[in-house]
Amino acid sequence: MTRPIRIAPSILSADFAHLGEQVREADIAGADFIHVDVMDGHFVPNITVGPLVVRAVRGVTDLPISVHLMIEEPDRYLADFAKAGASVLTVHWETCPHLHRTIQCVKGMDVLAGVALNPATPAGLLVEVLSYLDLVLVMTVNPGFGGQEFIPGTLSKIRQARQMINDLQPACMLEVDGGINTQTAPRVVAAGADILVAGEAIFPCEEGVDAAMRRLRESTGGVHS
C-alpha cells in the first residue's frame, strides 16, 4: 500500500507582519494544509492566536486549515474556530475529560476531528475513539514552541499509532508535529506518519518557502509504502 506524504506548514514560524504573503507562498509551493497553532498560556506556557487569525488565513487560501488547539476547555471555542473557517480541529487528549463528546461536537459542525497526544501520553489511550477520528496527531516535541528538538522516543509511538489506524480506522490521517526537518522527516515517514507539520524548517529559511518545502518533500521520497 502506498500513501502520499502531505506537508502542513505551521504559521507559528511565519513572519506575522506578512502573514498573507507567507500563506500564499506555501500554497503556491504545494502545501497540503495550513497549520495554525492555538496556545492559551495555561495548557502550554505560550500564547498565540485565536479565530481571528484563522479567518484571516481563510481569506487568502483555499487550502484546508488544520487548527491545533493547545488550550484548556477546547469545547468552549470549537464553534468559533469552525465558523472562522477551520477544516480540521485537533484537540489534545490531555485537555478533554469527555473526549467522545468533544469529537462528536466537532463532527457535528462538519469539520474533521483530530486528537493530539503529548510525548508522555500513550497511543493506546485512543482505542475507544479511534473509529470516530479523521486525524491522530503524535506530538514529537512537548507542545508550546516552534524550533524545538525532535524527541526520538516518539518514533515507537508513531509506529504503534500507525498499526492501530491500519487495524481500526484506515482512513484516519497520522500527523506528526515538532522538530520535523530533512533529517527527521524520513524517520517519521518510515514509522508511519503521513502528514508532516513543519514551522522552522519552512518559513524562516533563506532559500524561500518553495525551496524549503521541496527539500522536505524530497527527503521523504514523496510516496511511501
Residue choice 50, 179, 184, 191 for contact with ligand DX5 (CB under 6 A) = 179
Handedness of CA 205, 207, 208, 214 (dihedral sign): negative
CA 133 centroid distance within chain:
14
Quick one: what does residue 160 bind among Zn ion, ligand DX5, none, with the CB cut-off 5 to 8 Å set by partner type? none
Q: How far apart, in whole angstroms, are the C-alpha atoms of residue 61 and residue 75?
A: 26
Among the residue ranges 50-58, 77-85, 117-125, 178-186, the one whose residues contact ligand DX5 (CB under 6 A): 178-186
- What residues does 67 pair with on adjacent strands? 36, 89
Tell me which of 37, 40, 175, 194 binds Zn ion, using CB under 5 A: 37
Q: Which three cell numbers stand for residue 198?
A: 513543519
Task: Assess contact for 225 and 4: CB atoms under 8 A.
Answer: no
Q: Stretches 96-104, 156-164, 196-204, 205-213: which one binds ligand DX5 (CB under 6 A)? A: 196-204
Single out the catalytic residue among 32, 37, 40, 194: 37
Report the alpha-carbon distance of residue 166 to residue 162 in Å, rounded: 6
37 belongs to the catalytic site = yes
Number of other CB atoms surrounding residue 127 within 10 Å: 11
CB atoms within 10 A of CB 215: 16
Among 51, 85, 114, 146, binds ligand DX5 (CB under 6 A): 146
Q: Which of 7, 10, 96, 105 binds ligand DX5 (CB under 6 A)?
A: 10
Kindly tell me which residue out of 24, 107, 125, 148 binds ligand DX5, with binding defined by CB under 6 A: 148
Distance CA 191, CA 111 (A): 27
40 a catalytic residue: no
With binding defined as CB under 5 A, does residue 177 bind Zn ion?
Answer: yes
Contact (Cβ atoms closer than 8 angstroms) between residue 192 and residue 167: no
Residues that bind Zn ion (CB under 5 A): 37, 68, 177
Residues that bind ligand DX5 (CB under 6 A): 10, 12-13, 35, 37, 68, 141, 143-148, 177-180, 197-201
> Catalytic residue positions?
37, 177
